[in-house]
């Protein structure tokens, strides 16, 4: 996973907080963190969309699969008062997430668990979301079966994920596998079939490729415009790694390979 530079040296968020004069272990607010703790494309705006679609209310039990350093989970908990279980594969991300949640005073609403979703999920949830995680998991039949079994009757699954518009070239397939940890990308039709096979009878699939293509281009340009500042804050190794990652993802979208998908399944 660490060959994907987004997931390497995740404690770099502390450099951003220090650059704003926030002392180590000082209390934090969710608003202070959202510019840095979201590993999806539109941060709070994307999570707001999930909250609305899933109709998340105070007291609901929500599962976030592939929760990263906890940005979406904290945002949902603070905004809605729901209880969020944040499941994350990588222990360094999960432990950092737990620490940031504690500093935000949200540990009573957000439970961070370290684990692989493919090992199964304890408990049942009123809403399940997963933002840009399933692209790392080729075994869709097991994944969607586990998701379905974790949902109460009537619960909705909300997914942000990659699909593909065409076959990848050998070079694109290599970049996807090595730099984005994405060994399998289904076509949009395949995606529908995988969900239907797992028993999801109602599936809505929005193609948001245009927005995500624009986002990934803007992200790369902004990162390059601020290269000097970013090196001063993080050091050249972190900046070169993220620059390469952002450029790889931008190329996969602008080359017309990747489809951005927002999916609701019940």
Ligand X SMILES: C[S@@+](CC[C@H](N)C(=O)[O-])C[C@H]1O[C@@H](n2cnc3c(N)ncnc32)[C@H](O)[C@@H]1O
Nearer to ligand X, 116 or 226 (CB): 116
> Would you mind telling me the total number of residues written for the chain in this entry?
266
Figure out which of the listed residues 40, 80, 101, 213 binds ligand X, where binding follows CB under 6 A.
40
| Site membership for ligand X, residue 242 (CB under 6 A) | no
> Is the separation of the CB atoms in 246 and 222 below 8 Å?
no
Residues in contact with ligand X, counted by CB under 6 A, come to a total of: 22
**Residues contacting residue 100 through CB under 8 Å, at least 6 positions apart:** 13, 28, 33, 37, 69, 70, 74
- Interaction mask 113-132, ligand X, x per CB under 6 A: ---xxx------------xx
Figure out which of the listed residues 32, 80, 90, 101 binds ligand X, where binding follows CB under 6 A.
90
Using left for φ > 0, alpha for ψ between -120 and 50, and beta otherwise, residue 3 falls in: alpha
Task: Compute the least distance from the CB of residue 82 to ligand X, in Å.
Answer: 16
Task: Compute the least distance from the CB of residue 201 to ligand X, in Å.
Answer: 25
Q: What is the DSSP letter of 187?
A: B
Helix (H, G, I), strand (E, B) or coil at 27: coil
The closest alpha carbon to 258, from 90, 41, 54, 45, belongs to 41
Task: Compute the least distance from the CB of residue 200 to ligand X, in Å.
Answer: 19
Figure out which of the listed residues 17, 60, 76, 93 binds ligand X, where binding follows CB under 6 A.
93
| Site membership for ligand X, residue 63 (CB under 6 A) | no
Figure out which of the listed residues 33, 137, 155, 180 binds ligand X, where binding follows CB under 6 A.
137
Backbone angles phi, psi at 79, to 5 degrees: -75, -35
Helix (H, G, I), strand (E, B) or coil at 24: coil
What is the Cα–Cα distance from 225 to 221, expressed in whole angstroms? 6
Residues that bind ligand X (CB under 6 A): 1, 38-40, 66-68, 71-72, 87-90, 93, 116-118, 131-133, 136-137
């Amino acid at each position: 996973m660490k060959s994907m530079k987004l997931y390497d040296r995740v404690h770099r968020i502390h450099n951003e907080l220090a650059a704003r004069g926030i002392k180590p272990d000082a209390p934090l607010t969710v608003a202070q963190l959202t510019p840095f703790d979201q590993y999806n494309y539109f941060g709070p705006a994307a999570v707001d969309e999930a909250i609305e679609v899933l109709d998340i209310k105070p007291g609901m039990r929500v599962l976030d699969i592939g929760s990263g350093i906890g940005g979406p989970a904290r945002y949902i908990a603070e905004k809605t008062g729901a209880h969020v279980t944040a499941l994350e594969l990588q222990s360094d991300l999960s432990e950092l997430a737990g620490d940031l949640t504690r500093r935000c005073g949200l540990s009573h609403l957000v439970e961070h668990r370290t684990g692989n979703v493919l090992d199964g999920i304890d408990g049942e949830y009123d809403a399940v979301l997963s933002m840009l995680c399933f692209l790392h998991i080729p075994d869709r039949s097991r994944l969607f079966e586990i998701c379905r079994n974790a949902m109460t009757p009537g619960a909705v699954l909300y997914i942000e994920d990659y699909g593909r518009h065409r076959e990848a070239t050998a070079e694109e397939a290599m970049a996807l596998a090595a730099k984005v940890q994405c060994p399998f990308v289904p076509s949009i039709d395949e995606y529908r079939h995988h969900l239907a096979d797992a028993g999801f009878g109602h599936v809505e699939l929005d193609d948001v490729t245009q927005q995500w293509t624009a986002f990934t281009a803007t992200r790369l340009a902004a990162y390059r415009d601020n290269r000097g500042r970013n090196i001063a804050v993080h050091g050249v190794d972190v900046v070169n790694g993220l620059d390469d990652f952002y450029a790889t993802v931008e190329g996969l979208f602008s080359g017309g390979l990747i489809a951005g998908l927002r999916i609701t399944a019940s």
